[in-house]
Structure 1
Amino acid sequence: MTTYQIQCHLKYKIVQPTEFIFMVQTAHHSDQNILEEQLSFNLPVAWHEFQDSNHQNRHIRLHVEPCDHFEVNYSATVERHPAINVELQQNLNEVVVSDLPDEVLPYLLASRYCNSDLLVDMANRSFGWMTSGYPRVKAIEQWIYNNIFYVSGSSDQFTTATDVLIHRAGVCRDFAHLGIALCRALGIPARMVVGYVEIEKFLPDFHAIFEAYLEGGWVLFDPTRLAPVENLIRIGTGMDAGDVAFSTFYGEIELIKIEPVITEQLVR
């Protein structure tokens, strides 16, 4: 197992009374084990934690009155379990719809950002003839990496998978949305995963990838190739980015700073 130290710092200016929902805590998931964690704020606020019913993501809800500086600080020490053997992954088959578990079926549907219903013809022309299972999803990941440029600021909160395909540019969430949409268009359940991972070439930020449901369970893929998927510490899972925003707010605010940092702990 590998142990990681997480430090997440968010700073806001609160212009008017605002209700916040944060999702910055690491997930309770079979891939990882939380050894310790701490959540704090620079102001005395009443808050509580809850889990959404669909994905059991951990959310923090609180209310903040207008102020010049409101800060959220989260720290955690998390163990990441070893990744599955790559040779075993390469032999994973797709699961026919009739054999999918009930809880997996929704991940075949088109969603707000993953409009897979518009990509069925393109997906079948490009990938339908390929060996099904892990090799086909890996080919989708490789195609996105080869054909979509990673360009900061090239998309916004309205950008869908088809927009990314047309403009051939996006950021990590856009790469993930396209991967999810292409998988769903081929009848492969897929969903978004966000988390903490160290990426050397960019400023600290949250990272989005996707996972596809294959024989034996969910398998992670990252079309950006910015970091090994086995290094990602999961925060949340969802149909698309609409389910896994690190911050949702109702009010007027200004984001001053976002700094999620993860480092591998050295064992002595």
Structure 2
Amino acid sequence: MAKFSVGCTLKYQLPDASTFVMNVAAARTAHQQIEQERFEITPAGPVEEHVEPTTGNRYHRFAAESQAVSLHYAAMVTYTPRLADVTTLTVAPPDRLPLWILPYLLPSRYCQSDHLMRLAYREFGGLPPGYQQVRAICEWIYRNVDYLVGMTGPLTSAFDVATSRVGVCRDFAHLGIALCRAVNIPARFVSGYAYQLSPPDFHAMFEVWLGDGWYLFDPTWQVLPQHMLRIGTGRDATDVSFGLIFGAAMMTSMEIHAHALDTDDAVQPIDVAVAAI
């Protein structure tokens, strides 16, 4: 068990009235409990919360009319990851997977697995199905895609990253998801606060269904899975964007923090992953 202090301060300039739907609050899961939290907007106003029943994603909606608005979120989170040696885990064939997992096998907005099948089968099709393929996919992305800020944008897809060979954590996760789905491994996108990420920012990983559970992987190799405090889970970034804004608001400042209050910083082997359920 570990305790973390996480949160963000986001500031926007508004030429006109705008509506915000934010996904920055830490999720409540079987392994992640929120002991204290605070969600505030300035100028103060009503905030509506909605929890998506299947993923637990928490959305906060508010309207703003002033020329400037700021959002502050802070939480103390207790995280009890279920560490597991995943090296022997395999993936069930599609006819034996739970049907509710089907959306995570299909192409999605940013993860066009159908466009990457030739690449996926050429590079990973000959490997034992399951962990060995996922590990090889992460290694391939790490070796072949340069981590560079500012070279991709909100419209960049997994196919774009496979072509340009450049991106950030969001792009690495999308490519990992697409390649996994292309070889029939269910995969989904995870956003969160990442302890020891430098510089601090919202972080993205992906998780795959192996055996009978979800396991986290970070193809950037910047953050240990057990140091990822979950915000959102979805098919890709479409489902878990930290901010959906209806209006002409422009971000002027973003500060993210994830501090350990009580944790074991011992480095875990790369072959040990975190089971999400």
TM-score, L = length of structure 2: 0.92
Q: How is 1:250-265 mapped onto 2 (pairs within 5 angstroms)?
A: 250-265=246-261
Counterpart in the other structure of 1:70:
69
Percent of pairs with identical residues:
40
Aligned equivalent of 1:245, options 241, 244, 254: 241
Question: Does structure 2 retain, via aligned residues, the 8 Å contact 1:92–1:216?
Answer: no
TM-score, L = length of structure 1: 0.95
Q: How is 1:10-29 mapped onto 2 (pairs within 5 angstroms)?
A: 10-29=10-29
| Aligned residues between the structures | 263
SS in 1 for 2:215: strand
Letter of the structure 1 residue corresponding to residue 73 of structure 2:
Y
Letter of the structure 2 residue corresponding to residue 62 of structure 1:
F
Cα distance 1:117–1:79, how it changes in 2: closer, same or farther (>3 A)?
same
Counterpart in the other structure of 1:230:
226
Question: Superposition RMSD on alpha carbons, in Å?
Answer: 1.3
Task: Tell me how far apart the structure 2 counterparts of residues 218 and 85 of structure 1 sit (CA, whole Å).
Answer: 11
Counterpart in the other structure of 1:113:
110
Displacement, 1:200?
4.5
Aligned equivalent of 1:104, options 101, 104, 114: 101
Task: Tell me how far apart the structure 1 counterparts of residues 146 and 189 of structure 2 sit (CA, whole Å).
Answer: 19
Displacement, 1:133?
1.2
Letter of the structure 1 residue corresponding to residue 105 of structure 2:
L
Counterpart in the other structure of 1:7:
7
Aligned equivalent of 1:133, options 130, 133, 158: 130
Q: Which moved more, 1:169-178 or 1:253-262?
A: 253-262
Counterpart in the other structure of 1:179:
176
Counterpart in the other structure of 1:151:
148
Counterpart in the other structure of 2:57:
57
Task: Tell me how far apart the structure 2 counterparts of residues 134 and 122 of structure 1 sit (CA, whole Å).
Answer: 18
SS in 2 for 1:84: strand
Task: Tell me how far apart the structure 2 counterparts of residues 26 and 167 of structure 1 sit (CA, whole Å).
Answer: 33
SS in 2 for 1:225: coil
Unaligned runs of 5+ in 1: none
Cα distance 1:107–1:200, how it changes in 2: closer, same or farther (>3 A)?
closer
Unaligned runs of 5+ in 2: 264-277
Question: Does structure 1 retain, via aligned residues, the 8 Å contact 2:29–2:56?
Answer: no
